Structure 1
């Protein structure tokens, strides 16, 4: 059981870093181009919300009961 909690904690940290990166892009506004198409700020907002929610779920799952 301890192994699952450790993996949830690591996953939560990874998604928290991704959420921080999406928030940084929202605040700074540097351009991202993938396959010749510009990625808008709206997609960064949705990515931030999704990554933060997944990190929260994983952190809550890693708590000791």
Structure 2
């Protein structure tokens, strides 16, 4: 495995962890407050969608045959 592919897979794993954390927050629904402002569930939905898409794009590029 080349060095670039390894870093791409590590990045994909980080985005997968973010997606799982966002999904967990969507399922459990615990509150998040930053500087006195409540962060809604819609933010977690967007974070889940974006991090899942980035994870899948990185995995596709890491394992594509050229």
TM interval, short-chain normalised: over 0.9
Q: CA RMSD in A?
A: 1.2
Unaligned runs of 5+ in 1: none
Runs (4 or more) in structure 1 with deviation over 2 Å come to none
Q: Distance in 2 between matches of 1:40 and 1:64?
A: 37
Q: Partner of 1:35 in structure 2?
A: 35
1:64 Cα deviation from its structure 2 partner: 4.9
* CA distance in 2 between partners of 1:62 and 1:13 (Å): 12
Where does the alignment leave 5 or more consecutive residues of structure 2 unmatched? none
Query: TM-score, structure 1 length as denominator?
Result: 0.95
Higher relative contact order (CA 8 A, sep 6+): 1
